[in-house]
Amino acid sequence: MRGSRPTTFGRWLRELAYRSGLRQRARRRVFERHAVWCEARLDVDAGTLHVRVCDVSEGGALLELAEALEPGARAQLRFPLLPGRPAVWCLVQHALPQGRRMGVQFQGDPDDHARLAAELVRRHGGTPPAQG
């Protein structure tokens, strides 16, 4: 029986840490996310990257790209397909290199971010187009 106790205790600790992490993420999520499917450009020091915006909120976006940037990197996200070709400065919050996805937090005027998110949802909201 002694051999099984550390395993059970270890599982309990891992489960506690996992649930705590979920609660923290839920508390941090201030804005509702919306699924979108939109091509965009990400200007970084090394040049311009072509990205796909997968979801957006008033606070940021989830991007899909060939190679993710390091968390903490600053970039400008441009939307050449939207009227007025808006752009927003953003900060990389997290990156999943294996999934080629990266979360960015918008920097600057929250009212501009709300308008941008609403326009993206209006024009590009919903599920991705069918591949074929």
Please give the Cα distance from 76 to 79 (Å, whole number): 10
What CATH number is given for 34-124 in this structure?
2.40.10.220
With a cut of 80, say whether residue 20 has pLDDT above it: no
The helix (run of H) or strand (run of E) holding residue 119 is helix 110-124
Give pLDDT tens digits for 55-89. 999 999 999 998 888 899 999 999 999 999 999 99
Give pLDDT tens digits for 28-50. 557 888 999 999 999 998 899 99
Residue of higher predicted confidence among 101 and 17 = 101
User: Cα angle vertex 127, ends 111, 114, to 5°?
Assistant: 0
Question: Which segments of 2-47 does DSSP mark as H helices, in order?
Answer: 4-28
Question: Can you give the pLDDT at residue 30?
Answer: 72
pTM of the full structure: 0.73
Determine contact, residues 62/54, Cβ cutoff 8 Å: yes
